Structures are given as C-alpha cells and as structure tokens.
C-alpha cells in the first residue's frame, strides 16, 4: 500500500523534472534550458534517477534518490547564478525544486523505514536522517530566499551567512571568548559547584535540607534572569557581571537536583553501609554521590542551556564593546543581518558543543545506570 504510494511520488517527481525543461524559467528574458546543454542533461538524468528510484529495491532506491537530489540541487543553484533568474524565478525554476523536495522526502521516508541489522548501521542511519533533512532545509532556505529575491537585509541566504562566518573569524573568536569562556564557563563552574556543595551540606543536616528544598523549588520556578540588571549594577559592564548572572541562574537547579539525587539512595543500601561501619565521608563517596550522578548530570544539562541564555540577556543591560549578545543587538540595529546570523550560528554551535560534551561526560561516568543499559 505505502510502497505503491511512494512509487507514484517518485514518478511524479520525475515527471516534474521533465516538464520543467519546457516551462519558462524566469519572468525576465533569459535563455531556456535548451540553451544550457549541461544543465539540461543534468535535469534529464535527475528525472531518470527519480524514475529509476520508483522501481528498484529500497537500498538502491535511496541511493538513486540521493544522487538525483544532489544533482538537482546543483542544477537549481547553478541557475540562480544567473541574475535574470534570481529574484524573477517562475515555474520552470520552482518545478524542479518542488520535485526535488518530493524525492528528498520520499528518500528520507524510505531510509527511516529500513530495519538495519547491526548496531553501527542503525546508529549511522539515525545520524544520517536528521543530517540529510537539515541539509535539505538549508537548501530550501537558500533557494527560496534567492529565487524570490528576498532582500538580504531582511533574510540573508545561508551562503551569505557562511561567508560572513568564515570571513571574520577574529571578531567571532573575540565574542566567543568574551561571552562563552569568560562569562558562561566561569559562572557555570562557580554556580554548579556552589549548588553542589550546598546540596551536600544540606543533605548532611536534614533540617537544612527540608527547608532548602521547597525554597529551591520555588525559586527555580521564578524568572531569575531578571536579576541581570542588578548584577550589571553590582559587578560592572565586563564579564564578571555576566558570570554572576550565570551563577545565580545555575545555582538553584543544581541545588534542587543534587539534593533529590542524594536522597535517591535506598534504605537497604544505607543499611548496608551502616552494617559495614562506613563513616559519613565513605558513605557519601561510595553510595550517595554515585546514586546522585544521574540527577547531577541532569542539572548540568539543564544549566548548560540556561547559562548561555543568562549571559546573553545580561549583555542586553550593558557590555564592553565585545560579546555575542552585544554584537547581535548592535548589528540588528544596523540591519547587518548576515553578521547577526553568523553570531547565532556561533552561539548555536557553542551551545550544542557544550551540551554534547556534558552528555558525553554523562555517558562516560554513569554508563552503569539502567537508562543506558539497553
């Protein structure tokens, strides 16, 4: 049932590619596809690949679809170099884009439907699907922005952002250093460390823990980013104020989670420790801390995103003339959106890398936990 549906889809995509050869490319006068022999050939080959993908076994079909999609992306991007097409594109241009979209979607759907044998294979597929999907989204963004002639001031294409990203590494590095290394990382370490220590003390003295847990939960629900202006007032415009905001933001999630984790050790284990005659320190080290590990990492992960947000918000209240948040608000005001997007890409990469490192550390230290024993 679904197989024949996918077959029809591929045939429609192939048909779309064929038809696009005879439909005008642009509302301006421009040479048709027949005057561009290489592109015409590529379009026809793509149509053939899509048609072929409709009839072969899934593995081969995916390969053909991917090849066709890559070829078709190249054709459309090559067409956009022509200034009589970029901004004036008509159906002759949009048809292959839509056909490629259909084929790419079907290819990814087929890839998702495959049941691989090995663990490595399934991991590779689970990685490939979002990557292909993401690459195609960037392609659509590029083609849509340039094909419709959206002013780059409003919405720059990814290529312009990439040029800006790789074109000014020094500025990006300075902003990264100021916001991430000095602000986020310092604050993150101090805030998480303080939260952890207070939690350990509060766990030792039950009265303190019983009082702190509800207070911590309450404060965690408050919009704490609001302390940013106060911290800027106390610690000045430079990075200490950003680090201070990050400390305040990361402290409470860490406190609450660590406290919950330390209380997660069961009665039987505690009795066992007591029957071994273990001291306070030994029990903490051998029982409570390992039991709290998953909770602590949960807090570390939550905090890795919170910390970044806190530092950037603090930069809205005053900065030296460097930093990601500063650059974004300044350049957005100047309508230099390619710089803004390059900074966002930087922040995104840094944020993901930060989270990824914490997640990797979690895998390395809590591999024994049931959630990883699959």
Partner 1 sequence: MTSNALSRSPEIRWPPAVVRHAPVVVIVLALIAIWYVAAVLMNMNIVRDGFERDGTAYTTEDLIAGTLSAERPLLPAPHQVIATFADDVFGWPVTSPRSLVYHSWVTLSATFLGFVLGAGFGIFLAILIVHARTLEKSLLPWIICSQMVPILAVAPIVIVVLGSIGLRGLLPKAIISAYLCFFPVTIGVVKGLSSPDPIQLDLMRTWSATQAQIFWKLRWPSAVPFLFTSLKVSITISLIGAIVAELPTGAQAGIGARLLAGSYYGQTIQIWAALVAASVLAIGLIGLVSLVERWVAQLMGART
- Footprint of partner 1 on this chain (CB under 8 A)? 105, 108-109, 112-113, 126, 129-130, 132-134, 137, 154-155, 205-212, 214-215, 221-223, 225-230, 232-234, 304-305, 308-309, 312-313, 316-318, 324-325, 328-329, 332-333, 335, 337, 340-341, 343-344, 347-348, 351-352, 354-355
Torsion of CA 107, 110, 112, 118, to 10 degrees: -110
Q: Cβ closer to partner 1: 95 or 311?
A: 311
Complex with partner 1: residue 258 or 304, whichever CB lies closer: 304
Q: Least separation, in Å, of the C-beta of 184 and partner 1?
A: 9
Nearest C-alpha neighbor of 158 from the set 185, 135, 181: 135
CB crowding 286-303: b at 16 or more within 10 Å, else e: ebbbbbbbbbbbbbbbbb
Q: How far is the CB of 229 from partner 1 (least distance, A)?
A: 3
Closest approach of partner 1 to the CB of residue 41, in Å? 31
4-43 core/surface letters (b: 16 or more CB in 10 A; e: else): eebeebbebbbebbbebbebebbeeebeebeebeebeebb
Torsion angle, CA of 9/15/18/23, rounded to 10 degrees? Answer: -100
Place of tokens 């990685």: 127
Q: How far apart are CA 91 and CA 85, in angstroms?
A: 11
Q: Measured from the CB of residue 21, what is the shortest distance to partner 1 in angstroms?
A: 30
Instruction: Tell me whether residue 167 or residue 211 sits nearer to partner 1 (CB atom).
Output: 211
Give the residue with the Cβ less far from partner 1, 12 or 330.
Answer: 330
Smallest gap from residue 241 Cβ to partner 1 (A): 11
Q: Judged by CB, which is closer to partner 1: 188, or 308?
A: 308
Nearest to 315 by CA among 347, 285, 290: 347
Give the C-alpha separation, 116 to 110, whole Å. Answer: 12
Least Å from the CB of residue 5 to partner 1: 13
Q: Which is nearer to partner 1, 95 or 347 (CB)?
A: 347
């Amino acid at each position: 049932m679904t197989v024949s549906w996918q077959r029809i889809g591929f045939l429609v995509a192939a048909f779309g590619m064929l038809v696009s050869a005879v439909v005008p490319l642009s509302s301006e006068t421009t040479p048709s596809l027949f005057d561009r022999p290489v592109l015409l050939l590529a379009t026809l080959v793509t149509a053939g690949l899509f048609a072929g993908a409709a009839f072969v076994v899934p593995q081969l079909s995916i390969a053909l679809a991917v090849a066709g999609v890559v070829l078709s992306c190249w054709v459309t991007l090559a067409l956009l170099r022509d200034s009589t097409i970029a901004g004036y594109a008509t159906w002759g241009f949009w048809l292959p884009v839509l056909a490629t979209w259909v084929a790419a979607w079907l290819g990814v759907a087929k890839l998702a439907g495959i049941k691989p044998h090995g663990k490595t294979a399934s991991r590779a597929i689970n990685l490939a699907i979002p990557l292909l999907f993401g690459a195609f989204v960037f392609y659509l963004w590029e083609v849509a922005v340039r094909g419709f002639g959206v002013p780059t001031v409003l919405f720059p294409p990814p290529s312009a952002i990439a040029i800006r990203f790789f074109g000014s590494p020094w500025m990006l590095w300075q902003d990264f250093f100021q916001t991430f290394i000095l602000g986020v990382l310092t604050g993150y370490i101090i805030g998480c460390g303080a939260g952890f220590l207070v939690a350990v003390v509060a766990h030792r003295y039950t009265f303190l823990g019983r009082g702190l847990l509800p207070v911590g939960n309450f404060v965690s629900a408050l919009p704490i980013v609001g302390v940013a202006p106060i911290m800027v007032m106390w610690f000045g415009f430079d990075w200490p104020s950003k680090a201070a905001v990050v400390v305040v933001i990361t402290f409470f999630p860490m406190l609450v989670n660590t406290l919950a984790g330390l209380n997660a050790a069961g009665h039987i284990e505690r009795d066992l420790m007591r029957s071994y005659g273990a001291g306070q320190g030994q029990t903490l080290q051998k029982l409570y801390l390992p039991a709290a590990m998953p909770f602590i990492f949960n807090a570390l992960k939550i905090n890795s995103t919170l910390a970044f947000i806190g530092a950037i918000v603090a930069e809205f209240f005053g900065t030296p003339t460097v930093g990601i948040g500063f650059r974004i608000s300044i350049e957005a005001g100047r309508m230099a959106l390619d710089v803004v997007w390059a900074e966002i890409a930087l922040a995104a990469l840094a944020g993901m890398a930060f989270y990824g490192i914490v997640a990797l550390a979690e895998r390395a230290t809590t591999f024994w936990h049931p959630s990883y024993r699959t």
